[in-house]
Structure 1
Amino acid sequence: MGVPNQRKGTPPVRHPPCATLSRWRGPPHAVAGVCQTCPVTQNTAARRAAGEITVRERLTFAAGDVFAGGASSLIAVMYLIFLTDVIRLAPGLAGTAVLVAKLWDAVNDPLMGAISDRVRTRMGRRRPFILGGAVLLIPIMALLWLPFPVLDSQLGKMAWAMLSYIGYNTVQTVMAVPYASMSTEITTDYDERNKVNTTRLLFSTVASATVTLLGAWLFDQYRSGEIGLWPMYLAIVLGFGTVFMLVMLGVALFTRERAPIPPRAQRFEVRTFVAPLRTSSFRKLLGMYLSQALAFDIISATVLYYALYVVVGANSQVFLGIFIGVNVIAYPIVTWLVGRVSKHRVYMRLIPLALVGAAAVAVFPGDGPVPLVYVFAFMLAAGMAGAQLMCWVMFPDVLDDAELATGQRNAGSYSGLMTFTRGIASAIVIQALGLVLQFSGYVAPVTNEVPLQPDSAVLGIRLFMWIGITALLVLGWTIARRYPLTRTVALSNQAELDRRRGKVVSGEELA
């Protein structure tokens, strides 16, 4: 059957592929986004409508985790010791500045999620915010890492650190919450979504590796006098900042959202902030996410202190390199397992090994053989690898579960609550470490030389690592045992959502 109104003897009209019909302005025989006479078959068009994306777009989107993973690693590894040993801010005040700044996230993260859920633009719901945040990133990083305090007093330094960190948190949230939400919306196909999120893991792992090692190396170079403050400052702001900005610009300009959204946004209400907590699977995922993330925050925040003051001759870059190397090795294994077993089992399987490693690292003798402490660090890293790599891969399954229960897919509210609770809890960890250092008699360096620490400070660092990591990993393992979304359940939820969406499309076609 020919195209309507086509003259006899003329070559057939070749329409654009169905994937580009949003820009097609031809005859009105393209129904419900599928051209009835296009050379692309209906079956292919249906697959594309369901969420099939190109490899280039998948890689471009996943590269956004260079910022998500790299920026958080930079803060976790360097910021507290930057405040205490470079700015010369008292540890207790440094921790307080970080905590107060993070309290802004009590409003900022959930609010950003709710706002992006309700926005309707030609670029979609998420990408306008990612674009705006990318433009502001380098200026706010320049203020955050300014190496000379604007005010000389301890309270003045604390106020500057707090205000600059509030600004940085705001810009980060404007990008991070919509980006996390897009991970559930860039495709609606279960297998494609797993590919997207496991590819994100690869970029996040490599970025965390690079940023962590380079950050620790920069600080060691500064401490040894090899580089000055300004070269370190410029490397952080213009080096890391430019890379972070470019990957987020790529997400904003070269990817798109595919999950169906209601044409009218819901009315904004305060209870929207806590609405995700009504979903049981989300509460459990949130607990698992916070447990592993905070355990690693403790490792990241203490490793420079541990290598400098606890085990003589230990190298912080080797410690961090072990964790990163293990995650890189674990990535293909985890990617293979995701398609075959329930994700919560990958999360919890090796946590007992991590508990043994954490205890061994914490009590390791200060003058013991350094290679042996690296072996124990490897045990800790291997035991945590599954937990570290799994949570954001599990997140889209929870969104499916929530959509089945509520009829809504407000990914921004869910991801906003996750980043908010992570931010607050991470700040509490840093504040707790600052207080431990303050009250255990930690001696801040006056010059670049490493001061001798009292036994009480060394003991405080050891106990903080051991108790904190152990308690958090045990909590995560316990919650994971009760996680309800097995692979069978997740696939069943996806099939039911596809069936419901199919009914909606059919109704529109009949109309």
Structure 2
Amino acid sequence: MNEPNDATGPISVSRSRLPRSTLWRYGIGSLGTGGFATLPGLVLVYYLTDTLGVTALVAGLILTISKIWDVVIDPVIGGRSDFSLVRSGSRRRFMTIGGVALPVFFVLTFAVVPGLAPAASAIWVTVAFILCASSFSLFQVPYIALPAELTRRYDERTRLLTWRVVVLTVAILLFGAGGPLLRDLFPDDPYLGYLVMAIVAGVILGTGMLLSSTVAPRNVPEPETRPTASLVQNYRGGIRALIRSQPFRALLATYMLQGLATGMMLAGAQYVATWVLRSETAVTLLFVALIAPALLLTPAWGGIAKRIGKERGYWFASIIFFIASASLVMLMWSPGWWIFVPVAVAGAAYAGMQALPMAMLPDVISHDAERHGEGRAGVFGGLWTAGETAGMAFGATALTIMLAITGYQESVGVAVVSQSDAAITGIVLSFSVVPAIAMLLSLITLSRYRLRRADIEPEEN
């Protein structure tokens, strides 16, 4: 059916069951989103500190700068995406530009010339990664907005996002395990190893994004509608969305805190493998332990949500992840391969922590549109992307602060260094206690989310 909307123009929103072609074309985009969230989060800090010789604090500053830039531009991209939908009838143009540009800048991020001074290397990575993050936002922001426009049904959104998270978990496994394996094929030349890794990953990232861009609905724009918005108006739109939608504030705060927790653990995994388990390649096994349960149980979380509600399922997943992450503090006293058990439990919970809030977001968007008579899916998508990337980045930044405080020693190329007991303790705390605290805080914000099925489909109750 076609429903006019004063901010986004006519949008075809289905009340029927989504075809499989829509599910897979939307889901394949998570090869790009999941891969980009995983691989830089896993190896970029380690690349900076243990190959380029950049200090931990500077490495953290690089990530912080890039994510502050994300926070600045994502609401603007969201607003522009909404207006592009009115002008052209589709968000596809933004997604396509992002899918083409991201692989180029991703490769440049890991193509630092050997022999550069750490300061010059830091500048190179900062510029390249900001351009890379900007390209990612051009795809991610409209991609996040699409579920609210593809279907109106509460359970169909869960089904759509469950497929997406299945692909997301595959992407995390593919990039999280495969990326370091590619890099480690060149142990005597880490610069070449990272470059090969980036080229292969960039091709896969771009392919997934470009294929997924074809799912964006194409509608006939209204010729008389030619809205424009200034930079200030785009930010005002985002601020209004935050102020008026309490469910969005609660969901976004929860997701940001959990992004901080998972971002810190993701960035710390390589350090745990190298300095706690004493096996640099163990990071691949850690990812297999994390993702195998997630891949198997993602559909189960969709069934749980259908039975008890998305928000209750999200509660259970978050509590399980909190317990699993807190238990990892035992690495301080007994490092060993038992770590794979709590990591696997965390992986099972992580599937729910991804699928359910993503399925709740389009409910928030449509609920806001019903109450306020305007569709601002792009604005909400921009705010969500900014919050998600900021949470993940600040998790990595928090790790670098812990490393600096506890005296972690950086290195250049294949140089060998040793770490103090204090530095190793900092690594363990960054992988367990600190993420667990962030998860505990996220349960408080999640308790403030009160949107239920009856608010989305009142006619069925």
Query: Are residue 436 (structure 1) and residue 398 (structure 2) matched?
Result: no
* Contact persistence 1:141–1:241 (CA under 8 A): yes
* Whole-Å separation in 1 of the counterparts to 2:274 and 2:95: 38
TM-score, normalising length: structure 1: 0.80
**SS of residue in 1 equivalent to 2:52:** coil
2:159 — aligned with what?
195
1:457 offset after TM fit, Å? 0.5
Q: Which moved more, 1:447-456 or 1:434-443?
A: 447-456
**SS of residue in 1 equivalent to 2:168:** helix
1:188 offset after TM fit, Å? 2.8
Query: Are residue 56 (structure 1) and residue 21 (structure 2) matched?
Result: yes
Say which structure is richer in helix: 2
TM-score, normalising length: structure 2: 0.88
1:147-158 correspondence runs (5 A):
147-148=112-113, 152-158=116-122
1:143 offset after TM fit, Å? 1.4
* Whole-Å separation in 2 of the counterparts to 1:397 and 1:260: 25
* Whole-Å separation in 2 of the counterparts to 1:340 and 1:129: 37
1:484 — aligned with what?
450
* Whole-Å separation in 1 of the counterparts to 2:219 and 2:24: 16
* Contact persistence 2:87–2:221 (CA under 8 A): no
2:146 — aligned with what?
182
Q: Could you say which structure has the greater relative contact order, defined with CA pairs below 8 angstroms and 6 or more residues apart? A: 2
1:363 — aligned with what?
330
Query: Are residue 244 (structure 1) and residue 209 (structure 2) matched?
Result: no
1:4 — aligned with what?
none
Q: 1:320 aligns with which of 273, 281, 287?
A: 287
2:430 — aligned with what?
464
Q: Which moved more, 1:370-379 or 1:209-218?
A: 370-379
2:54 — aligned with what?
89
Q: Which amino acid aligns with 1:203?
A: V
* Whole-Å separation in 2 of the counterparts to 1:70 and 1:319: 16
1:316 offset after TM fit, Å? 1.6
1:332-411 correspondence runs (5 A):
332-365=299-332, 368=335, 370-411=336-377
* Whole-Å separation in 2 of the counterparts to 1:206 and 1:94: 28
* Whole-Å separation in 2 of the counterparts to 1:192 and 1:351: 23
* Contact persistence 2:102–2:206 (CA under 8 A): yes
* Whole-Å separation in 1 of the counterparts to 2:31 and 2:444: 30
* Contact persistence 1:205–1:324 (CA under 8 A): yes
CA deviation profile, 1:312-332 (whole Å, cap 9, x unmatched): 458222222111112112212
1:254 offset after TM fit, Å? 5.0
**SS of residue in 1 equivalent to 2:151:** coil
* Whole-Å separation in 1 of the counterparts to 2:207 and 2:346: 34
Q: Which amino acid aligns with 1:397?
A: D
Q: 2:379 aligns with which of 397, 402, 413?
A: 413
* Whole-Å separation in 1 of the counterparts to 2:14 and 2:258: 36
**Tell me, which stretches of 5 or more residues in structure 2 are unaligned?**
5-11
Identity of aligned residues (%): 24
* Contact persistence 1:290–1:422 (CA under 8 A): yes
Residues matched between the structures, number: 448
**SS of residue in 1 equivalent to 2:217:** coil
Rg larger for = 1
* Contact persistence 1:202–1:331 (CA under 8 A): yes
1:235 offset after TM fit, Å? 3.3
**Tell me, which stretches of 5 or more residues in structure 1 are unaligned?**
1-18, 23-31, 34-46, 497-511
2:176 — aligned with what?
212
1:102 — aligned with what?
67
Pick closer, same or farther for the CA change 1:102–1:312 going to 2, 3 Å. Answer: same
Q: Which amino acid aligns with 1:296?
A: T
Pick closer, same or farther for the CA change 1:340–1:360 going to 2, 3 Å. Answer: closer
* Whole-Å separation in 1 of the counterparts to 2:323 and 2:375: 40
**SS of residue in 2 equivalent to 1:452:** coil
* Contact persistence 1:133–1:171 (CA under 8 A): yes
